[in-house]
Amino acid sequence: MRADLHMHSHFSPDSEVSPEAMAKRCADVGLDYVAVTDHNTIEGSLAVREIAPFKVIIGEEVASASGEITGLFLKETIPAGLTALQTVERIKDQGGLVSIPHPFDRFRSHVIETDALHEILPYIDIVEGFNSRNNLARDDRKAQEFARTHGFITSGVTDAHTTMEIGRTYVEMPEFDGSPEDFLRALAEGRIVGRRMSPLVHVLTTLTKIKKRIRGRRH
């Protein structure tokens, strides 16, 4: 089974991928499980789940006051701007899993702050050990070392904001029964298959964000 646990649809301000285009591309590249993790909303997950021929995990990449935290297996949107501790508590209140996205990517402005990361250690389930959008392999290696030190499970993700990114990275893992607990068991047995994207994808993301802001001002 192939799973990608971090990607964005047009419900994120920096992506223009429609749910239909995402569902088609994921199916074309043979993904079996996908977590759609739009910024500060679960709307994209719900939209893709309605039409996808594969399983969709409801997710959200939440902008806490101390940096980004991903919730998986969510039932409701978690608001942005809460403290890191409040954010992970909201995720756990929904029976969800806490994943830390790109924790040591030195080129991103929204990685979780070190103090906040250590404050929420007891709540963390997953650490992204490979993110296709991380420019430097050593940043991924640092995440893997962090996960090993603290006994966390690692994932490999595309963090896709465009359809061309989907399929470049995934985790090969056993089937699971649909529950968060069994998902963690299967992910722990998984193998990351990862290919890094060109740094130019970040330029595309920035241009998309600017374009959508301009459109918003016109309406």
Domain count for the chain: 1
Amino acid 218: pLDDT: 58
pLDDT in tens, 87-140: 999 999 999 999 999 999 999 989 999 999 999 999 999 999 999 999 999 999
What CATH code is carried by the domain that includes residue 121? 3.20.20.140
Give the separation between CA 185 and CA 183, rounded to whole angstroms.
5
Positions of the chain with pLDDT lower than 50, given as ranges:
219
Rounded to 5 degrees, φ, ψ at 88 are -70, -30
Boundaries of domain holding 76: 2-218
| Total-model pTM | 0.95
First to last CA, the chain: 43
Question: By the 8 A CB rule, do 65 and 86 touch?
Answer: no
Q: For strand 67-72 and strand 97-100, is the pairing parallel, antiparallel, or unpaired?
A: antiparallel
